[in-house]
Each structure stands twice: as structure tokens, then as C-alpha cells.
Amino acid sequence: MMGVVFNLLEAAVCRTYGEAQWYELLDKAGLDGAYTAIGNYPDTDAFRIVNAAAETLQLTPGEVLRWFGRESMTMLAERYRIFFDGHSSARTLLPTINRVIHAEVRKLYPNALLPDFSFEDAPADTLRMVYHSSRSLCDLAQGFIEGTALVFKEQITVEHPHCKLRGDHQCRFDIRFRELVPTKSPLAKD
């Protein structure tokens, strides 16, 4: 896992729970926490920190990953504004992950092990994304999706009806965008 991910996790923990908490988590995980952005570190280090956070916060590791995904996308949007410019909704941004966002990430970090997403036909109000990765970090993916909607201040619901961790052959997300309905119709006569 790229050091940049550990740096984001550190920033998310520090900004929500304070710096002391980050050092407590590292201590609990038995790690020294020296991660440089371009370094590559064992995935198990990340899982040890996530498990330590889950124990401390009395959450499941999946809930921690989802929280981290939500928190870090707002930070990524500030750092990599260029990927968000020209979009006003997660609906148009998410389909650009493979071809634009992660394609650029790969140029910056050639050793990155990036997931792949495919997009399938779905009802008009739904964006259907299928997540492919040997890492099975679908909870992180869900957090990133929710975080992308937060960046655009959109209300979405994310269903995860098929999940590899639950024994399905792939992970599928159905993302529904709630239309903002005006309380009063602009055509109303009174």
C-alpha cells in the first residue's frame, strides 16, 4: 500500500481525534509510523492500524475503512482539485476513476496497485459500479463513493447488494442520487 494512503489515514485520524490518538493507534498496532508518500508498505500495516482503530472506537474494521474513505475524499478533492473541476456531481465524476483519476495516479505512483471499476446498465436514477481488486477493500470504495458525494454536497444512498466478502463473485454498488425537490413548485399559482 502506498505511503500516501497512510499519510491520509494519519491526517483523517488527527483531524477528527487528535494527534495523540494516532500515536496510540500506532503503538497498539506495533508500528513506528514512518511512511513517506511515495514509499510502498505492506498492506498488513494498514490492516493492523485499521484493526487497532476498530478496537478503540468499537467499530468493525469495515466501518473504519468506510469512515476513512469518506474523510479522505474531501482531503483528496482539495489536493487534486483538477479531477473535480468541470464536474458538479459524483454521477459524472465517478465514471472517470479508471480512465482519468487513477490513470494520472499511476503516472505519479507507478507502483500503485489500483482497483478497476466497471459500470453496468441500471435504472435511470441509479449508477451501478462493479469493484474489481485483489485487495477486497470494498468498504473503502464505498467510503470513497460517499465522500465524493459529500464533496458535491449531494445526498445519495449506496447499496452493496453483492459482495465478495459475503461470498458473491463480485462487489456491486447501486448508487442512487436523491433529486432535490423544491418544497413549492415554481409553477404554483398562489
Summarize as ranges the residues that interact with ligand HEM (CB under 6 A).
1-2, 4-5, 76, 80, 83, 97, 101-102, 105, 109, 112-115, 133, 135, 137, 140-141, 144-145, 148
Q: With respect to ligand HEM, which residue has the nearer C-beta, 50 or 145?
A: 145
Is residue 131 a contact partner of residue 144, using CB atoms and an 8 Å limit? no
Q: In the bound complex, what is the minimum distance in angstroms from residue 59's beta carbon to ligand HEM?
A: 19
Contact in structure between 145 and 97 (CB atoms under 8 Å): no
Provide, rounded to whole angstroms, the least separation between the CB of residue 80 and ligand HEM. Answer: 4
What beta strand segments (E) does the chain contain? Answer: 116-120, 126-132, 156-162, 171-177
Tell me whether residue 114 or residue 122 sits nearer to ligand HEM (CB atom): 114
Whichever of 24 and 130 has its CB closer to ligand HEM, that residue is 130
Query: 40 in helix, strand or coil?
Result: strand
User: Minimum distance from CB of 96 to ligand HEM (Å)?
Assistant: 8
18 conformational bin, left if phi > 0, alpha if psi -120 to 50, beta if neither: left
Interatomic CA distance for residues 129 and 26, integer angstroms: 34
Task: Decide whether 24 or 162 has the Cβ nearer to ligand HEM.
Answer: 162
Q: Give the shortest CB-154-to-ligand HEM separation in angstroms.
A: 13
The one-letter amino acid at 178: R
